[in-house]
Amino acid sequence: MPVPALSLPTVAVVGGGPAGLMAAETLRAAGCEVDLFEAKGSVGRKFLIAGKGGLNLTHSDPPERFRERYGARRDAVGGWLRAFDAQALREWAAGLGVGTFVGSSGRVFPDDLKAAPLLRGWVRRLRESGVRFHVHHRWTGWDAGHALRFETPDGEKRVEAAAAVLALGGASWPQLGSDGAWVPWLREAGIEVASLRPANCGFNVGWSAHFAARHAGAPLKPVVLHWRDGAGRARSLQGEFVLTATGIEGSAVYAIAADLREAIERDGEATLALDLVPGRDAARLARELARPRGKRSLGEHLRRSAGIAGARAGLLRELCPQDTLQDPARLAAAAKALPLRLLRPRPVAEAISTAGGIALEALTPELMLRARPGCFAAGEMLDWEAPTGGYLLTACFASGRIAAQGALAYLRESASRAARA
Ligand SMILES: Cc1cc2nc3c(=O)[nH]c(=O)nc-3n(C[C@H](O)[C@H](O)[C@H](O)COP(=O)(O)OP(=O)(O)OC[C@H]3O[C@@H](n4cnc5c(N)ncnc54)[C@H](O)[C@@H]3O)c2cc1C
């Protein structure tokens, strides 16, 4: 909808990640004065780190499947995506001179796989358009009125803005700026915030010291993971993960981390069944392992007769009782469905992203805090989660745009109310 020719007042955007930058861009394009406040000395630090592994901007899933990635929040996030979807994101990147391609997994990456050129070009364009950046400005809540309070190198500052967009991120990788310190401040202001929890995270297993010393860092690929989802349905996924000193992490684990975390919250632990030999069916494997072993050690027998070696053989030794290891039929069954007990998720600070955050019920559909008219919120600080695959960034960008559009509508409404009075 075109913005009526009003002289729009200043909007404060707090947090310079993808959500905040997108909000700033949308507000400025509509003619607002925009001040962007960032706690760190530069914006977009997590976005830059996301680029280290080959920035996965979005995904080529069809819209229906894309929405499903947001689980219980599919309807709300789906609404944001109607305003700014994967295709819009790719066109937006192209507008910054960054082409994108669809990888073999369906994931979408910038042509050069990097985040830095995209971020540099974006920040330059924002500055040129007139967005004012204030780095080393750490928001610490509201004062007794509605002013935003900031810690700065020059002492505390208060900012009165006609509207504000908070985009402070979650609590993963706090060294990059998003530390979740805002949770109590929002709760004190009467805003419902679900506890921040790890998403796309590793899990603790409690390996023996011997196993951890020998196999930490070993990748397992391919492997099939069997587990039960929140509704108790049997699910399975083929993929890869890595053994760590404390447990497991990696893409296949992240993809199912929400179900595993919830099982641990509900039952105190979660169990995965690992198929260590996806290429061989159980009957063939049992036949192979039943071949006479002679004087060969178990490790040698596993390797020669069934191709099970290294970390896979190590897992069988670590997790199977002696009588299973000595019985070919039971050993074959274990190799096809090895129970792995997960004790707890790794801390949120290590996770790729954060579950929990501002309850969507505490927000209007335009992402305004019901308890704080004129204050909007976007990005990972809201209570939704998704697996890796570009779904995180896409929802952050889209919600930044929705919050900014909400702020614009709020300002227009306030201006016309003032004009009528
Ligand atoms: C290692 C890693 C790899 C990732 N790879 C991908 C990927 O390939 N694809 C994908 O879709 N997602 C990926 N993600 C997730 C993605 O980066 C985040 O979901 C996204 O950056 C969140 O955007 P945001 O704007 O909501 O928050 P953030 O990017 O966290 O930005 C929030 C900003 O707010 C600032 N801030 C926080 N508190 C305050 C305060 N009190 N005052 C002022 N400023 C404050 C922070 O310093 C930060 O700059 C990855 C994450 C990690 C950690």
What is the per-residue pLDDT across 345-375, written as a single tens digit (0 to 9) for each?
999 999 999 999 999 999 999 999 999 999 9
> Ligand 1 centroid to 104 CA: how many Å?
26
- Tell me whether residue 173 is in a domain: yes
Whether residue 150 is found in the same domain as residue 257:
no
Rounded average pLDDT over 176-199: 97
Q: Which two tokens stand for residue 182?
A: 């805002």
Q: What is the pLDDT of residues 125-155, one digit of tens each?
A: 999 999 999 999 999 999 998 899 999 999 9
Average pLDDT of the chain, as a whole number? 95
- From CA 370, how far away is CA 379, in angstroms rounded? 17
Whether residue 153 is found in the same domain as residue 238:
no
Whether residue 105 is found in the same domain as residue 187:
yes
> Ligand 1 centroid to 17 CA: how many Å?
5
- Tell me whether residue 232 is in a domain: yes
Q: Read off the pLDDT band of 418 (50, 70, 90).
A: confident
| DSSP H or E stretch at residue 301 | helix 298-306
β-pairing, 155-159 vs 107-110, is: unpaired
Q: Is the pLDDT of residue 2 over 50?
A: no
Q: What is the pLDDT of residues 61-92, one digit of tens each?
A: 999 999 999 999 999 999 999 999 999 999 99
Taking alpha carbons only, the member of 75, 175, 137, 60 closest to residue 106 is 60
Q: What percent of the chain has a predicted confidence (pLDDT) above 90?
A: 93
Last residue of a domain, one of 294, 317, 345: 345
Our count of domains for the chain comes to 2
- Tell me whether residue 2 is in a domain: no
Query: In this predicted structure, what is the pLDDT of residue 170?
Result: 98
Rounded average pLDDT over 112-122: 97
The amino acid at 35: D
- From CA 395, how far away is CA 378, in angstroms rounded? 9
Q: Is the pLDDT of residue 312 over 50?
A: yes
Q: Read off the pLDDT band of 8 (50, 70, 90).
A: low
Task: List, in order, residues 6 or more apart from 69 with CB less than 8 Å away.
Answer: 59, 61, 386, 387, 389, 391
SS3 category, 247: strand
Which residue CA neighbors atom 8 of ligand 1 most closely?
A: 56
Q: What percent of the chain has a predicted confidence (pLDDT) above 70?
A: 98
Whether residue 324 is found in the same domain as residue 276:
yes
Last residue of a domain, one of 345, 372, 397: 345
Whether residue 216 is found in the same domain as residue 341:
yes
Q: Is the pLDDT of residue 407 over 50?
A: yes
> Ligand 1 centroid to 25 CA: how many Å?
17
> Ligand 1 centroid to 393 CA: how many Å?
9
Last residue of a domain, one of 318, 345, 372: 345
Cβ pair 30, 55 in contact under 8 A: no
Query: In this predicted structure, what is the pLDDT of residue 145?
Result: 85
Whether residue 57 is found in the same domain as residue 155:
yes
* Phi and psi, residue 125, nearest 5°: -65, -40
Whether residue 62 is found in the same domain as residue 98:
yes
Q: Read off the pLDDT band of 7 (50, 70, 90).
A: low
Rounded average pLDDT over 195-219: 98
β-pairing, 100-102 vs 155-159, is: unpaired
- From CA 156, how far away is CA 158, in angstroms rounded? 7
Q: Is the pLDDT of residue 337 over 90?
A: yes
Taking alpha carbons only, the member of 24, 43, 13 closest to residue 159 is 13
**Lining residues, ligand 1, CB within 6 Å:** 14-20, 37-40, 43, 45-47, 49-50, 55-56, 138-139, 167-169, 172-173, 177-178, 181-182, 352-353, 379-380, 390, 392-393, 396
pTM: 0.94
Q: Read off the pLDDT band of 1 (50, 70, 90).
A: very low
Range of the domain at 145: 11-199+353-420
